[in-house]
Structure 1
Amino acid sequence: MKNLSRLLFAMLLILGYSNANAQDKNNPWQITIAANAVDFFPTGEDAPLGDMFSDFFNVSDHWNILPSLSSISVSKHLGDGFSFGVAGSLNKIENFGDASVDDLSYYGVDGTIKYNFLQGTTIDPYLGVGGGYTWVDEIGAGTLNGTLGLNIWFSENVGLTLQTAYKHAFEDYLSTHFQHTAGISIKFGGTDTDGDGIYDKDDACPDVAGIAAFNGCPDTDGDGIEDSKDSCPNEAGSAELNGCPDADGDGVADKDDKCPSVAGLKALAGCPDADGDGVTDADDKCPTTAGPAANQGCPWPDTDGDGVLDKDDKCPSVKGTVANNGCPEVSEEVQKTLNAYAKTILFDTGKSSIKSQSEVVLADIIKILKEYPNSKFTVEGHTDSVGSDKLNQELSEARALSVKDYLTKNGIDEFRLSSKGYGESKPIDKNTTSKGRANNRRVEINLAK
């Protein structure tokens, strides 16, 4: 009865310690219920004891094993692999080294600081150091303890613990000894603030009850999309619409659908467009005939049928191209004709002044340019190789500018023309003959690219 009371005292001490600390991490507590064996022999003391570690595993001759659960310990995780634990144990001593003794009672209460090397793994070894108080035959003394142990976890919370502790006594009347334990360990004490069954450590939303599929975060409308990613957390919807419903099935969420009861187009905020002109039927004055929004969905006229509405057509009565604002584009043939005329423009020798007899051909050029009011051109000047490069360059630039100025003064918009001189750098004939040099002295009017 006295032995039982001492064990109960040790257990109460342990439980009192465990209740005195707050629980702050997932399963910070570990309780181990085990059997223990006490061995006085391999401690390096005098006979009937042996040398240090001699006959360390001689269970039958030296170990004192109480055939029952005879040890209980509780430890608390402190962080970074460290934990602190308190253990209580009892035993009966029949083997004191090589000597037999009458059944002596054995009680121990020990505190240990442990360091676990491989936390979170199945095989979890640790080392510990601590101290305690041990009674043998009701005579007690303090001890300094060194511990080597191993946890083998079968699951997150349950495992097997094997431990050996060397207990060095501070008093001569208590012999130094080894105490081995083997038992079942259970980890517990995880905090679940929101009560959803997921520990706070693993709960992405620890203050709001949720489900395991979303790491503890809620899905209020049950549509399989967690609330934090659900644009409509209180209405079940589809993943494609971020959890929002779509009553008319047009792919536009009801909250964004201006016509939620009629299937429509995403581009028109869920409203229909029967004629496909980009104007919703509700705003379309001609809902069955395509037309521009600027004309409330009704078509503008296109007199020349070139695809450019008359209101935008720079040449509404002549078929042109959309790229050229409804006006015809300069063809290769027209370009050749234009340059055939331009090459016949004559200048005073060595000057940029245009001879009067060139006015007829310039009038023809102006007529052609006016047929293409949206096209832009570059007036280019060229010379032969007679004279210096510098003078030829300056002359070519001056002649090109002179032609440009003549054209702009006679009805061609200035923004459509530019001028550039190339000097003698782009001959089209030999400069060794008078005919060749005459061909090289020229003006070209080319479509600007």
Structure 2
Amino acid sequence: MKVLKLILESFRFAWNALKVNKFRTILSLAGVTIGIFSIITVFTIVDSLEKSIKDSFDFLGTNVINVEKWPYGLGGGEYKWWEFLNRPHPDYKEYEFVKDKVENAAGVSIYAVRGNQTYKRKNNSTYYNFLLGVSYDYSEVFDVKIESGRYFSRQEVESARPVALIGINVAEDLFPNVNPIGKQFDIRGKKFTVVGVSEREGESFIGGPSKDDACLIPYKSFQKMYYSGRRRGIGSKIALKGRDDDIGLVELEAELRGIMRSKRMLKPKDKDNFALNRPEAITNAIGGVFDVIGVAGWVLGGFSILVGGFGIANIMFVSVRERTNIIGIQKSLGAKNFFILFQFLFEAIFLSVIGGMVGLFLVYLITLIPMGSLESSLTLKNITLGLGVSALIGTASGIIPAAMAARLDPVVAIRTN
């Protein structure tokens, strides 16, 4: 209790000193404020950009492996497209084979995509949409959120019924002020009946495809409209959802590679004539770029923080000099060395943390400025980082002046003018 009382008393002395020297306190705060503002602003914008871009790739799925003809080519080095050109696209028979054999997947689906589609209904039409032909298991691999209506039935998919699950933008363009469920519209002259409308996803930050502009139809219905052969036409993709206990999808990838090589009768020395693509490879590559930007933010803000730290240290040396007589009186009355140490150390930390809080407040004001489709927010992680860095700078700046004050001889200190 005695130690706690002394600590609280040290806080009180430090706070009173800051209130008495307001102008000096403000000057000391400036460096730390600018430094924290610079660092946290960079981190906030970088985090918001990274989140927005990664969210734009959500349509690729999470914890998913795609069997495709073309690899993503994110591993560095030369992209040997001529080696991939004659590979066959995955087809429906391979999808059925994989689905029958695989044991480490939570879901298996086949799908194909066609972009820039025009949908029509009476005098209404919509363009720049993309059409997906999907198997019944598509909803087990990818997140399909339905606002109204329902998903396909297995019978509808297997019998290639002309039914569709449309995005909210498609619904608003084709069926303004009308419930689209049960209504028909045209895709390439063929009528499809709307069975469901997906939830609004919002505009993609990078301008990529959005589920709001998508239309899902049964895979076999898609095949009737577009030739989806193995070597020509629109290529299909087999998507597999990994199990939660398969960390890194290591087991699924190894099993899937063996299944595909077996199905395509590849010899042990033959190279894979298919690609196993993982969407998180794209987001990991993006994360690497933003890590570099984050380092740049530390460098830019670090100089301001350094200047602020020196400013606080200088103010603390002056403060010790001004209060040398008071220190001598306190020690002659029985004040312990750690009491004097805490008194000046807490003052330095207060200065730095208050400066950091002002910097964080300025960052918060920045997040209130509209930035189009970019949604910026000051996260708890960045708040904690800002306050932590401020406290660390205050400790580093104040420890030497505080130690000098604690070691003063009380007789010498009292006699000092």
Per chain length, whose mean CA-contact separation is higher, i.e. which structure has more relative contact order (CA < 8 Å, sep 6+)?
2
* Structure with the greater alpha carbon radius of gyration: 1
What's the TM-score once normalised by structure 1's chain length?
0.19
What's the TM-score once normalised by structure 2's chain length?
0.20
Instruction: Compare the two structures and name the one with the higher helix fraction.
Output: 2
